[in-house]
């Protein structure tokens, strides 16, 4: 069957089907990391269940020499290690592709396709022969298939050995058993199959200045660098690893070398209502503070987000979006919280949103979130998602400017308070419509009563229409002013394009790939990735400059498009939707199909 | 809740505290609660306690939720920051505030609706965290602002103004606190300032979370015959378990410890709480004994008041978290940011 596939170097996709809780994650991660170290553009997508042990889990590796590493939907090789999903997995391999499976047991005849090649390795048998402990037999089976993969696609064995050395530097016996298992699979494949397969790896030099990191780790690191001293959270997938990483970084960087004290306090709250309350309390008191959560947490935080908005207290919320509504699918990705965050809470509320597209932006935007929250004295949401947050991405090395100092916004210090005849909380707005605040514990002249109830510009309780409106109208102006401060959209023009593709967050690589492929179908498009809300004029200008804009996002209700319709003056007819919201990371195919479906056969109007 | 400023008129004969401040300096704006409201008496007791302790006004943070009780922080210490937050959410907001700045003194004012219904979970967890603060529940058994619904602290058989009896068992903050490991539990009566002021002072000196449940009758909706939170009922059924005396840290006063008929507990900061009129078998530091004593007397329809339980040995939130002695919010940024060189070094792990 080999002849069905033309030989391809550094351009293919592999899907690994496993049972969760068996240790497959470390085998898959090992392969991904080895390819990264070979200098080849690569991505790894973990499609895992909301379960501890026993349910199907997949891992997809895509290598692409041109840097297109969004999720591929056609797989050249399936590593079928889960008999529960054999049928589905075998079905997904592309015509002429390969299926690597455990041949310790015969394959059911119904699973045989005549257009794919089956590579059977008796993994279970090999491991049973070489390892005694039942748990070890299961774990090592995974390392054994990694060994077979290494032979099949030509992963650099030296790099793999080096990775194992690093990983097990303190556990020599584990290093030995891993190497044994690796060799079992590797040798069997070498002896029994024509290795490498028609698609294989060759070293490149594209990743020397890059790192392999997940978004949640990068977000946590951003919070450390931003100077956070109080964090509060309630465990929720897929945001939990933000706080896990934050705690680990605090152990590393926030233990005072002189006193041994912790220069950060992490509160595991009783629920998300409490978590956001703690953040608001800490920020009211002058600490940089954040919470990490996901959709259900956002719903619970609603009431207090309105309090922070109305009483003008900074707060940073890291929302790692998952599939809703309700409990939804906790381990699947979506961009379904855009509207919920933009207008979180009852009454007239509007918030500042940041949309990172990858872990590097998670780091950068995490820091930015605190500057904006304090500059504008308001909640700021950073909306990542499960794909960005929990998958390892290849991104440029993170950089830091040691000259950075936090923008604490307008906070009066002791000398400034003493000089005032009288402190009146919501008076004296600056060009961004922000008034000065004071912190407790500085001077009694700075004291005021923070309240979520109706207040006038002096901070005093009111039920009078004009006094109430005066304040909330300023809040609206303040929100608008933030448009200039949120990260600007990323815009790329192509010669002759009259169609725009607009997207957000983790859709970025799939959309970019689609834009590169669409000209083959006769469609030239310009690209805009929105990175912040409120929208700046540049966003509106882009939309207006194109006859048609396809808004690509991962939710059913076209939430970004809705927000653009509500918050810009662009004609609704100019905005069309391409939606993919089933819960897996976006693929360029989703985008291309979605656009072609709407434009039909390319016309002269579109390909000008 | 319009705020009405009080006229500033200081009588020269008013005593001054250690800071040179008079009681008037600890007042707030004029109360807008109903005339005769128990809450106003609690406010007066708070003012007295803070003045006597010479707490610098700007070092106080007044936290509250929503409800009649939660309005009261405006009625004391105008020179302190206040935070009238959301219904039931005072405890987490106070926890976050305390986490950021442990140098301030925190007073949380709540009610039975705020603490025992909508915010019950939060209060329980603040107890578990032993957040250092004085947490006052102004308990009247009724929702005042929404006009007279029963609260979760209403006793079985207690009658509403319309005559309907409550059939559900009450949530008792004192028993709850005992079961959750609260480290300072007191119950008092708004009409008994002599008992309340020393309790509040002791609560402010406490190492961790101090709950003070004050029966504070609602003159408008819950002060009728048939109510078990009325002035009359409380006066008839209150059993003063302990009289307590708060003695600030000072050597010459410490000498009085050990007098016959009293029990003393030394607070974390060196001050002393001296219990007088304590029944012979009552040990305010023995959780089990306190629990059974209270259950026995509750069964007899008595409202037991006094500083009921005290444990100064439990670390507070910051001690558990090994926080610095000073406010986290004041740590210079240079100490918080690992810097560019460290970021470069760290990233070798992500290769």
pLDDT digits (tens, 9 = 90+) for A282-333: 999 999 999 999 999 999 999 999 999 999 999 999 999 999 999 999 999 9
Domain of A246, CATH number, reads 3.40.50.970
Do both A421 and A450 map to the same domain? Answer: yes
Domain that holds residue A129: 2-200
pLDDT at B17 over 70: yes
Give me the pLDDT at residue B2, please: 52
Residue A448 to residue B121, Cβ atoms within 8 A? no
Nearest CA-CA distance, residue A261 and chain B, Å? 5
Which residues of chain B are within 8 Å of residue A265 when distances are taken between CB atoms? 99, 317-318, 321, 323, 328
3-state secondary structure of A78: strand
Percentage, residues of chain A above pLDDT 70: 98
Any chain B CB within 8 A of the CB of A424? no
Average pLDDT over residues B105-120: 97
Label residue A605 by pLDDT band (50, 70, 90).
very low
- On whether the CB atoms of residues B41 and B193 are closer than 8 A, the answer is yes
Q: Cα–Cα distance between B211 and B229 in angstroms, integer?
A: 19
Residue with the bigger pLDDT between B268 and A357: it is A357
- Domain-embedded: residue B214: yes
Do both A248 and A272 map to the same domain? Answer: yes
- Domain-embedded: residue A405: no
Residue B350 to residue A212, Cβ atoms within 8 A? yes
Do both A440 and A385 map to the same domain? Answer: no
User: From start to end of A188-294, where are the E strands?
Assistant: 199-200, 210-214, 230-233, 265-268, 289-293
Please state, as a whole number, how many other Cβ atoms lie within 10 Å of the Cβ of residue A488: 14
Residue of chain A with shortest Cα separation from B347: A211
Any chain A CB within 8 A of the CB of B21? no
CB under 8 Å to A566, separation ≥6 — which residues? none
Q: Cα–Cα distance between A141 and A180 in angstroms, integer?
A: 11
Domain of B294, CATH number, reads 3.40.50.970
Label residue B1 by pLDDT band (50, 70, 90).
very low
- On whether the CB atoms of residues A320 and A290 are closer than 8 A, the answer is no
Instruction: Give pLDDT tens digits for B221-251.
Output: 999 998 999 999 998 898 888 888 887 775 4
Give me the pLDDT at residue A604, please: 46
Do both A196 and A223 map to the same domain? Answer: no
Do both A186 and A303 map to the same domain? Answer: no
Q: Cα–Cα distance between A460 and A341 in angstroms, integer?
A: 28
Domain that holds residue B69: 23-330
Do both A232 and A366 map to the same domain? Answer: yes
Residue A370: exposure state from Cβ atoms within 10 A (0-12, 13-18, ≥19)? buried
**A141 is written with which tokens?**
């089976």
Residue of chain B with shortest Cα separation from A367: B337
Domain boundary among A159, A175, A200: A200
Any chain A CB within 8 A of the CB of B5? no
What is the enclosing helix (H) or strand (E) of A320? strand A315-321
Do both A112 and A221 map to the same domain? Answer: no
Do both A13 and A78 map to the same domain? Answer: yes
| β A93-102/A75-80 pair status | parallel
- Interface pTM, i.e. ipTM: 0.95
Instruction: Give pLDDT tens digits for A76-85.
Output: 999 999 999 9
Please state, as a whole number, how many other Cβ atoms lie within 10 Å of the Cβ of residue A52: 8
Average pLDDT value for chain A: 96
**B98 is written with which tokens?**
């305390």
pLDDT at A442 over 50: yes
- Domain-embedded: residue B64: yes
Q: Cα–Cα distance between A357 and B203 in angstroms, integer?
A: 50
Which residues of chain B are within 8 Å of residue A224 when distances are taken between CB atoms? 336-338
- On whether the CB atoms of residues B200 and B213 are closer than 8 A, the answer is no
- Domain-embedded: residue A402: no
- On whether the CB atoms of residues B271 and B210 are closer than 8 A, the answer is no
B 127-146 residues inside an 8 A Cβ radius of A: 129
- Domain-embedded: residue A465: yes
- Domain-embedded: residue A462: yes
Q: Which of B96, B123, B126, B331 to mutate to test the interface with A (most CBs of A within 10 A)?
A: B96
- Domain-embedded: residue B240: yes
- Domain-embedded: residue A207: no
- Domain-embedded: residue A278: yes
Which residues of chain A are within 8 Å of residue B323 when distances are taken between CB atoms? 261-262, 265
Nearest CA-CA distance, residue A136 and chain B, Å? 27
Any chain A CB within 8 A of the CB of B99? yes
**A157 is written with which tokens?**
């064995």
Domain of A64, CATH number, reads 3.40.920.10
- Domain-embedded: residue A93: yes
Q: Cα–Cα distance between A284 and A69 in angstroms, integer?
A: 43
Nearest CA-CA distance, residue B21 and chain A, Å? 13
Question: What residues pair up with A579 in beta bridges, in sequence order?
Answer: A553
Any chain A CB within 8 A of the CB of B9? no
Q: Cα–Cα distance between A422 and A460 in angstroms, integer?
A: 13
- Domain-embedded: residue A371: yes
Label residue B3 by pLDDT band (50, 70, 90).
low
**B33 is written with which tokens?**
């609660």
Residue A262 to residue B125, Cβ atoms within 8 A? no
Nearest CA-CA distance, residue B271 and chain A, Å? 23
Q: What does B113-163 look like in DSSP terms, one character per residue?
A: HIIIIITHHHHHHHHHHT-SEEEEEEE-SEETTTTSEE-TTPPTT-B-TTS
Please state, as a whole number, how many other Cβ atoms lie within 10 Å of the Cβ of residue B261: 9
Number of domains forming the structure of chain B: 1
Do both A382 and A496 map to the same domain? Answer: no
pLDDT at B302 over 90: no
Average pLDDT over residues B124-148: 94
Helices (H), chain B: 38-53, 68-71, 90-100, 112-113, 120-129, 173-180, 193-205, 231-237, 251-254, 287-299, 317-321, 333-336, 339-346
Whether the predicted model's global pTM rises above the 0.90 cut: yes
Instruction: Give pLDDT tens digits for B246-273.
Output: 877 754 333 333 344 567 788 888 888 8
Any chain A CB within 8 A of the CB of B324? yes
Do both A145 and A25 map to the same domain? Answer: yes
CA Rg, chain A, in Å? 27
Nearest to B76 by CA among B35, B33, B114, B117: B33
3-state secondary structure of B93: helix
Number of domains forming the structure of chain A: 4
Which residues of chain B are within 8 Å of residue A221 when distances are taken between CB atoms? 343, 346
How many CA atoms lie within 13 Å of A562's alpha carbon, on the beta-carbon side?
13
Domain boundary among A448, A467, A484: A484
SS (H, E, C) A474-511: HHHHHHHHHHHCCCCCEEECCCCECEEEEEEHHHHHHH
Percentage helix, strand, coil, to 5, in chain B?
A: 35, 20, 45
Domain of A509, CATH number, reads 3.40.50.920
Using CB atoms, which residue from A256, A265, A303 is nearest to B99?
A265
Tell me, what DSSP letter sits at residue B325?
Answer: S
Q: Cα–Cα distance between B75 and B3 in angstroms, integer?
A: 9
Which residues of chain A are within 8 Å of residue B122 when distances are taken between CB atoms? 270, 273-274, 277
Nearest to A551 by CA among A581, A583, A529: A529
Label residue A102 by pLDDT band (50, 70, 90).
very high
Do both A477 and A348 map to the same domain? Answer: no
- Domain-embedded: residue B84: yes
- Domain-embedded: residue B7: no
Do both A265 and A339 map to the same domain? Answer: yes
- Domain-embedded: residue B158: yes
Domain boundary among A179, A200, A221: A200
Residue A284 to residue B83, Cβ atoms within 8 A? yes
Average pLDDT over residues A399-413: 98
Nearest CA-CA distance, residue B126 and chain A, Å? 9
Please state, as a whole number, how many other Cβ atoms lie within 10 Å of the Cβ of residue B12: 5
Which residues of chain B are within 8 Å of residue A257 when distances are taken between CB atoms? none
- Domain-embedded: residue B2: no
Nearest CA-CA distance, residue A412 and chain B, Å? 14
Give me the pLDDT at residue A1, please: 43
Tell me, what DSSP letter sits at residue A440?
Answer: T
In Å, what is the CA distance from A319 to each residue of A234, A340, A379?
Answer: 12, 11, 12
Any chain A CB within 8 A of the CB of B254? no
Tell me, what DSSP letter sits at residue B349?
Answer: G
Q: Cα–Cα distance between A596 and A592 in angstroms, integer?
A: 6
Instruction: Give pLDDT tens digits for B26-69.
Output: 999 999 999 999 999 999 999 999 999 999 999 999 999 999 99
Give me the pLDDT at residue B14, please: 83
Helices (H), A312-432: 338-342, 359-376, 386-390, 414-419
Q: What does A273-296 look like in DSSP terms, one character per residue?
A: HHHHHHHHHHHHTT--EEEEE-HH
- Domain-embedded: residue B1: no
């Amino acid at each position: 069957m080999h002849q069905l596939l033309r030989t391809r170097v550094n351009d293919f996709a592999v899907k690994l089907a496993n049972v969760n809780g068996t240790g497959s994650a470390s085998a898959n991660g090992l392969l991904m990391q080895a390819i990264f170290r070979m200098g080849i553009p690569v991505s790894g997508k973990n499609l895992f269940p909301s379960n501890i042990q026993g349910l199907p889990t997949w891992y997809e590796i895509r290598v692409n020499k041109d840097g297109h590493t969004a999720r591929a939907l056609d797989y050249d090789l399936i590593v079928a290690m889960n008999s529960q999903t054999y049928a589905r997995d075998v079905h997904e391999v592309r015509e002429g592709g390969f299926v690597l499976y455990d041949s310790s047991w015969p394959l059911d005849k119904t699973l045989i396709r005549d257009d794919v090649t089956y590579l059977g390795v008796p993994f279970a048998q090999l491991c049973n022969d070489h390892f005694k402990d039942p748990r070890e037999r299961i774990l090592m089976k995974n390392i054994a298939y990694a060994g077979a993969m290494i032979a099949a696609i030509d992963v650099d064995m030296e790099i793999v050995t080096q990775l194992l050395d690093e990983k097990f530097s303190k556990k020599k016996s584990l290093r030995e058993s891993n190497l044994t298992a690796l060799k079992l699979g590797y040798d069997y494949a070498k002896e029994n199959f024509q290795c490498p397969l028609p698609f294989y790896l060759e070293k490149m030099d594209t990743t020397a200045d890059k790192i392999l990191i997940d978004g949640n780790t990068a977000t946590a690191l951003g919070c450390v660098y931003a100077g956070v001293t109080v964090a509060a959270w309630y465990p929720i997938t897929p945001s939990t690893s933000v706080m896990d990483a934050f705690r680990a970084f605090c152990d590393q960087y926030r233990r005072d070398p002189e006193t041994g004290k912790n220069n950060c306090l992490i509160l595991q709250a009783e629920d998300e209502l409490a978590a956001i309350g703690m953040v608001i309390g800490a920020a009211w008191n002058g600490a940089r503070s954040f919470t990490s959560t996901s959709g259900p947490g956002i719903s619970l935080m609603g009431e207090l987000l309105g309090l922070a908005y109305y009483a003008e207290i900074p707060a940073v919320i890291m929302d790692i979006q998952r599939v809703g509504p309700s409990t939804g699918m906790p381990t699947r990705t979506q961009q379904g919280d855009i509207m919920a965050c933009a207008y979180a809470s009852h009454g007239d509320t509007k918030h500042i949103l940041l949309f990172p597209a990858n872990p590097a932006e998670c780091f950068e935007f995490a820091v930015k979130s605190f500057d904006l929250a304090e500059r504008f004295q308001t909640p700021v949401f950073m909306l990542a998602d499960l794909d960005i947050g929990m998958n390892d991405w290849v991104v440029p090395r993170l950089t830091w400017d040691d000259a950075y100092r936090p923008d604490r916004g307008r906070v009066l210090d002791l000398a400034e308070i003493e000089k005032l005849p009288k402190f009146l909380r919501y008076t004296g707005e600056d060009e961004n419509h922000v008034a000065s605040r004071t912190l407790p514990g500085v001077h009694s002249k700075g004291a005021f009563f923070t309240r979520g109830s109706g207040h006038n510009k002096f901070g005093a309780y009111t039920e009078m229409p004009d006094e109430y409106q005066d304040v909330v109208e300023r809040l609206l102006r303040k929100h608008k002013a933030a448009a200039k401060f949120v990260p600007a959209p990323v815009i790329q023009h192509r010669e002759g394009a009259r169609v725009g593709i607009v997207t957000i967050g983790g859709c970025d690589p799939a959309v970019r790939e689609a834009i590169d492929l669409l000209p083959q179908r006769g469609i030239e498009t310009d690209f805009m990735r929105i990175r912040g809300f409120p929208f700046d004029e540049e966003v509106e200008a882009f939309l207006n400059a194109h006859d048609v804009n396809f808004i690509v996002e991962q939710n059913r209700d076209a939430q970004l498009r809705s927000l653009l319709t509500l918050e810009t003056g662009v004609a609704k007819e100019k905005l069309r939707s391409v939606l993919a919201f089933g819960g897996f990371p976006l693929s360029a195919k989703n985008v291309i199909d979605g656009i072609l479906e709407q434009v039909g056969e390319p016309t002269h109007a579109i390909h000008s | 809740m319009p705020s009405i400023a009080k006229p500033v008129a200081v009588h020269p004969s008013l005593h001054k505290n250690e800071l040179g401040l008079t009681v008037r300096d600890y007042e707030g704006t004029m109360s807008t609660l109903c005339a005769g409201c128990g809450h106003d008496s609690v406010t007066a007791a708070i003012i007295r306690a803070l003045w006597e302790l010479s707490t610098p006004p700007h070092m106080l943070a007044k936290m509250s939720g929503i409800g009649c009780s939660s309005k009261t922080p405006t009625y004391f210490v105008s020179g302190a920051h206040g935070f009238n937050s959301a219904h039931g959410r005072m405890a987490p907001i106070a926890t976050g505030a305390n986490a950021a700045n442990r140098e301030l003194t925190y007073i949380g004012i709540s009610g039975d609706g705020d603490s025992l219904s909508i915010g019950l979970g939060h209060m329980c967890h603040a107890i578990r965290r032993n957040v250092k603060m004085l947490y006052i529940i102004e308990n009247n058994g009724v929702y005042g602002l929404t006009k007279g619904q029963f609260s979760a602290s209403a006793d079985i058989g207690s009658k509403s103004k319309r005559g309907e009896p409550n059939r559900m068992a009450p949530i008792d903050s004192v028993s709850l606190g005992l079961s959750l490991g609260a480290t300072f539990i007191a119950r008092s009566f708004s009409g008994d300032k002599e008992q309340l002021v020393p309790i509040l002072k002791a609560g402010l000196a406490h190492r961790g979370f101090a709950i003070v449940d004050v029966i504070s009758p609602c003159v408008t909706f819950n002060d009728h015959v048939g109510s078990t939170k009325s002035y009359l009922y409380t006066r008839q059924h209150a059993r003063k378990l302990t009289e307590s005396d708060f003695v600030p840290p000072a050597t010459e006063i410490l000498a009085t410890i050990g007098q016959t008929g009293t029990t003393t507990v030394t607070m974390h900061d060196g001050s002393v709480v001296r219990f007088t009129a304590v029944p012979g078998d009552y040990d305010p530091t023995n959780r089990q004994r306190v629990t059974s004593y209270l259950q026995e007397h509750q069964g007899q329809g008595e409202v037991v008041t006094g500083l009921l339980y005290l444990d100064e040995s439990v670390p507070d939130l910051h001690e558990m978290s090994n926080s610095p002695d000073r406010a986290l919010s004041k740590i210079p940024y240079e100490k918080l940011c690992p810097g560019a060189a460290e970021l470069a070094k760290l990233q070798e792990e992500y290769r």
